[in-house]
Amino acid sequence: MKLRIGTRRSRLAIAQAREVAALLARLGVQSELAPMITSGDRGVSPAGAAAGVKGLFVAEIVRSLQDGEIDLAVHSAKDLPAGDPEGVVIVAVPERADPFDVLITRDGSIQTGAVVGTSSLRRTAQLRRSRPELEIVDVRGNVDTRLAKLERGEVDGLVLAAAGLDRLGVDRGHSTPFPLEEMVPAPGQGALAVQAREGDEATIEVAAQLNRPRSRSAFEAERALVRAMGGDCSLPLGAYAEDRNGLVHLLGIVIRPDGSDLVRAEAESRSPEDSARKVAEDLLAAGAGAILADVQAE
C-alpha cells in the first residue's frame, strides 16, 4: 500500500504532511505527498467552496479526496470548516503540538508603544485588552513573510502560533509564550486533522492508527463550539480544551474586536459535544450573541 497525501503547497503545510507521512512510515506504510495550490492561496473563491473563508484553503484538496485522486488529506485543524463535507471523514487527529500563541521579537524585549503585527481578529482583540500600550497592526502572509518583516524592522513583534514555528524549525529563542489567561488560542490550533474518503476501509484502518484519543476529544470539543457559535473562522472566538482523565474541560471566549468586551465560559463533561454545548449556552447567556452580531454587521 502506498498512500497519496494531499496538502497545500506552503512550507508549513508540507511540514505538516511530512509529519503524518513519518508517522505512517513507522507503521510500515509508504506514502507520497501531492501538494496543491488552493483557492485561498490564490485569493479567489471557487463555486461551492465549503464554509466561507475556511473552505477556501481546503476545497480543492477535499474535492481531490472525494474524486479518488488522493487517499488522505492533511490539514491544520484550525483551517477546517466546522462541518465535514459529503463523503469525507476525519480518521485521525495525531498528538497535538503546542496549541498556544507566542510573541516573537528581534531581541526578546518589547517596549511601550511597540508595533506588533498579526492578521487574526482573535489575537488583535485579546492584545488590545491585555496590552493596551502596544500598537497592533495587520500583517499578512506566510510565516516566513511575516518573520522577514520583523527582521526588516517593519514591526517590533509578531504574534504567531508556537506549533507553526516548531514545525518549521524556527528558533523560538526570542519568543515569549502567552499565558492562557491573556491569549486563548484558536479552536484546533496545534492539531492536525487527517481526512479519508468515506468507504475506503483499507485506508481508514491504517490512518486511524495515528489517532490519539486525548487530542481528538479536545479537537472535537473546540470544533463543536465553533459550530454552536456560528461556524465562521472570522469570529473573535478563542477555545481551548483538554482531556483530563476522561473528562473534557473546555474554555471558550468571545471578545469584541477593540478588546472592550469579553465573555468567558468553562465546562467539563465526558462528552466533547456536551462540553461545547454548555460553554456555548453560557457564552450566549453572558452576551456573546450581541458581540458576534455586531462583528458580523461590520
The tens digit of pLDDT for each residue in 245-286 reads 899 999 999 999 999 999 999 999 999 999 999 999 999 999
Averaged pLDDT for residues 95-103: 97
Determine the pLDDT at residue 54: 54
Determine the pLDDT at residue 261: 93
The CA-atom distances, in angstroms, between 274 and each of 169, 249, 281 are 37, 10, 11
The one-character DSSP state at 276 is: H
**Which pTM was predicted?**
0.91
**CA of residue 146 relative to chain centroid, distance:** 18
- Burial class for 1, CB neighbours closer than 10 Å (0-12, 13-18, 19+): exposed
The one-character DSSP state at 141 is: S
Per-residue pLDDT band for 49 (boundaries 50, 70, 90) equals: very low
Q: Is the pLDDT reported for residue 45 higher than 80?
A: no
The one-character DSSP state at 210 is: G
Determine the pLDDT at residue 132: 96
Q: Which domains does the chain have, with CATH numbers?
A: 2-93+192-211 (3.40.190.10), 101-177 (3.40.190.10), 227-297 (3.30.160.40)
Q: Is the pLDDT reported for residue 30 higher than 70?
A: yes
Determine the pLDDT at residue 56: 63
The tens digit of pLDDT for each residue in 127-143 reads 999 999 999 999 999 89
Query: Integer distance in angstroms from the first to the last C-alpha of the chain?
Result: 50
Per-residue pLDDT band for 173 (boundaries 50, 70, 90) equals: confident
Averaged pLDDT for residues 167-176: 91
Please say whether the beta carbons of 22 and 10 come within 8 A.
Answer: no
Give the CA angle between residues 121, 257, 273 to the nearest 5°.
70
Question: Which of these is catalytic: 41, 67, 71, 79?
Answer: 79
CA distance 193 to 89: 10
The pLDDT > 90 percentage for the chain reads: 81
- Pick the closest to residue 121 from 239, 257, 223, 230 (CA basis): 257
The average confidence (pLDDT) of the chain is 92
- Which grid cell sits at 250? 473546555
Which residue has cell 454548555? 278
Catalytic annotation present for 243:
no
Helix locations, 44-182, DSSP H: 52-56, 59-66, 121-130, 143-151, 162-168
Q: Is the pLDDT reported for residue 46 higher than 50?
A: no
